[in-house]
Amino acid sequence: MSDAAHADNRAPQSRPPFVSLDELGAMVRPGDRLGVGGFHFSRLPLALVRSAIRAGARDLDYVSWGGGLALELLLAANAIRAMKLCFDSLDVFGLAPRFRQAVERGEIPLQDWTALGMMQGFHAAQFGLPSLPFPPPLGSELIERAGFARMAADPIAGTSVAAAPALPLDVFLLHAQRADADGNVEIQGARGLDLSCIFAARKVLVTVEERVPAGAFRHAAPRAFIVPRSFVTAVADVPYGAWPTSCLPYYPTDYMALQQSIEGETLEIAPPDEHRRQWLGAAAALPPERVTAPALLRRRRDELESGPATVAEVMIDWIARTIDNASICSVGSVSPLATVAYLLAKRTHAPDLLLMTSNGGLIDVAPRPMVMTLAEPLDFQTAALHCGGDESYHWWYQRGRVTHEVVSAAQIDRWGATNNIQVTSPSGRTIRLPGQGGMADVANMHRHFLLYLPRQSPLSLVERVSYVSAARGLLDPAARTAAGYQPGDVRLITNLGAFELNPERREFELTSIHPGGTVDDVQAATGFPLRISPKLCETPAPSAETLRLIREEIDPLGIRRLEFVAGKERGPLLTALIESENAAIGDLIGAAGSGGGEHG
């Protein structure tokens, strides 16, 4: 019997074997409940997913916070029979086509979960319990319509709580930075829901960038988490096992390779050659002080904006004005506009705001320019704390400490409800959307529930959404305080104006119109009769200095524009942004290699 077979079938023991990648992939069995580690474009175990596919993985129940590239690979291989998740997209590259097709055609059953519900499901499995309670996502229809949890009376207080059933995993796939010779595994950087999944899984299969001697983790990287060897089933040494997603400090996300793969039909990615590996390694190691706005600006492929503020800049300035020194701001998924606003506030009037990036995994990061490839490496280096999304939920969100996570949705209605689950097109076709991620939970937990629509229309700002994926159910200040949350506002900023939810009527009122617009313009782009605030005014235009900061220092490449283009324009803009940043990175690497300085 092979070492791999021994590792898969023997009784658990404290020292996991090191095996080949093929042997590791063969440990994924038909019918397994499968979890995949990492998140978005960070530390996805892509080499291991491909190995499992080659070994004949099939009839898998996919159970993870997000889907993304790993799920697309499994769907392309016809390896999935059912899915439980909170969110699925390809981040800046848009909706996941194979996922959409499978759901829209009814080919594979899908159950939507809230993020907190899924964490509690994993924790219940970890603790050997049939279920665990969690605060219900008041205002959302997700429990009622998706059926992932049940409402029940708390046995102690008698109050109504949600109960998530245990979510045990048969196998969890993880890519990490290092393993020592004893099989202990080190995870650096943001951890997603890795810890919840590791301890809910029967088998944990790990690929790592490198193996180090036993005892090396007595001096482990600062802020790292060590997974004890007794929770690891088997390990394979697979350098670049997460590429083209990131594994810091070894390499950042390779957006150019991702774009080439995602835009193709087969998701095939040729391994990076030695030159590309050296480039990626050098990019990951660039110190934050060297990544300056002038260095990025010199490589911008199109002209810098000039003249009056654009709609994007008006919206950014409006969001930034809601932030103060006591704010705790969390960067949500695919939110360039909100991120630029946070960075602007931190650079100007709110230097003490605490900024959380990488889905709550990199805590209290330093100011930096808006970038794509270098965003995670810079935050990785400057963050005061590396943790997981489950930890940040329990420590910050559920305690009501987060003040801002400005988010968008496919549909928002006059009552402040959002829909990121599915919509019906004008032709009558059902279109599957990414899912609510964590919005259903945090709509109540944040101090402010702030929404934005880059392209307001009667199809995006509607009378009533067809599926309430997230909404604020707790509006009354006293009720919010009793629940442990801060009283706050529900607001919406669009490309035409700003709205605020009237707490008595519980519906949006138009509070300001952007410079040059009219009430008629806003009404024409709204799917219901507008209510006008008695305090209606013109949205303040950014000052000349604010415009200079946004254009030349905060977002010199103009990444904010991604939210305002669609269709045929989006791909070329994304290509130009990736190429511009890569060229700037090349300049910085070259200057570092030659001993030159980059002073901007």
**For position 438, which CATH number holds?**
3.40.1080.10
Residue 257 is assigned to a structural domain of this protein: no
Residue 415: which residues within 8 A CB-CB, separation 6 or more?
464, 471, 506, 507, 508
Residue 265 lies in a domain: no
Do 474 and 524 have their domain in common?
yes
DSSP string, 135-203: ---TT--HHHHH-SSEEEE-TTT--EEEEEEP--EEEEEEEEEEEETT--EEE-S--TTHHHHHTTEEE
CB atoms within 10 A of CB 16: 23
- What is the DSSP track for 434-467? ---TTHHHHHHHSS-EEEEESS--TTTEESS-SS
Pair (527, 387) in one structural domain: no
Q: Are residues 577 and 448 in the same domain?
A: no
Instruction: Look up residue 46 and give its two tokens.
Output: 């892509």
Residues 533 and 600 in one domain: no
DSSP state of 393: I
Residue 475 structural domain: 410-541
| Per-residue 3-state assignment (H helix, E strand, C coil) for 461-497 | EECCCCCCCECCCCCCHHHHHHCCCCCCCEEEEECCE
Shared domain check, 392 and 455: no
Q: Hey, how many other C-beta atoms are within 10 angstroms of the C-beta on 226?
A: 16
Q: Is residue 585 part of a domain?
A: yes
Instruction: Based on the fold, state whether residues 489 and 560 are members of the same structural domain.
Output: no
Q: In 3D, which of 104, 138, 83 has the Cα closest to residue 421?
A: 104
User: Does residue 596 sit in the same domain as residue 462?
Assistant: no
Q: In one letter, which amino acid is 300?
A: R
Answer whether residue 478 is part of any domain. Answer: yes
Structural domains in the chain (count): 3
For residues 75 and 191, membership in a common domain is answered with yes
Measured CA to CA, the distance from residue 372 to residue 92 in angstroms comes to 10
Note whether 319 and 340 are same-domain residues: yes
Q: Read off the pTM.
A: 0.95
What is the 8-class DSSP label of residue 247? Answer: B
With residue 85 as reference, give the H or E element that holds it.
Answer: strand 80-85
- Helix, strand or coil, per DSSP, at residue 66: strand
Q: Which residues of 309-336 are buried (b: 16+ CB within 10 A; e: fewer)?
A: bbbbbbbbbbbbbbbeeebbbbbbbbbb
Which of the listed residues 237, 260, 276 is the one where a domain comes to its end?
Answer: 237
What's the token pair of residue 88? 């699925």
Q: Which of 213, 237, 261 delimits the end of a domain?
A: 237
Which tokens sit at 142? 């997700």
In terms of domains, do 399 and 422 share one? no
Neighbours of 223 (CB within 10 A): 15
d(CA 147, CA 163): 11
22 within domain boundaries: yes
| Same domain, yes or no: 372 and 418 | no
**Structure token digits, residue 113:** 């979960």
SS3 22: helix
Residue 313 lies in a domain: yes
Cis peptide before 249 (omega within 30 of 0): yes
Written as tens digits, the pLDDT of the chain (600 aa) is: 444 444 555 445 679 999 999 999 999 999 999 999 999 999 999 999 999 999 999 999 999 999 999 999 999 999 999 999 999 999 999 999 999 999 999 999 999 999 999 999 999 999 999 999 999 999 999 999 999 999 999 999 999 999 999 999 999 999 999 999 999 999 999 999 999 999 999 999 999 999 999 999 998 888 999 999 999 999 999 999 999 999 999 999 999 999 999 887 788 888 899 999 999 999 999 999 999 999 999 999 888 999 999 999 999 999 999 999 999 999 987 789 999 999 999 999 999 999 999 999 999 999 999 999 999 999 999 999 999 999 999 999 999 999 999 999 999 999 999 999 999 888 889 999 999 999 999 999 999 999 999 999 999 999 999 999 999 999 999 999 999 999 999 999 999 999 999 999 999 999 999 999 999 999 999 999 999 999 999 999 999 999 999 999 999 999 999 999 988 899 999 999 999 999 999 999 997 665 444 333
Hey, which residues does 444 pair with through a beta bridge? none
Q: Is residue 457 part of a domain?
A: yes
Asked if residue 100 is part of any domain, the answer here is yes
Task: Give yes or no: residues 492 and 592 share one domain.
Answer: no
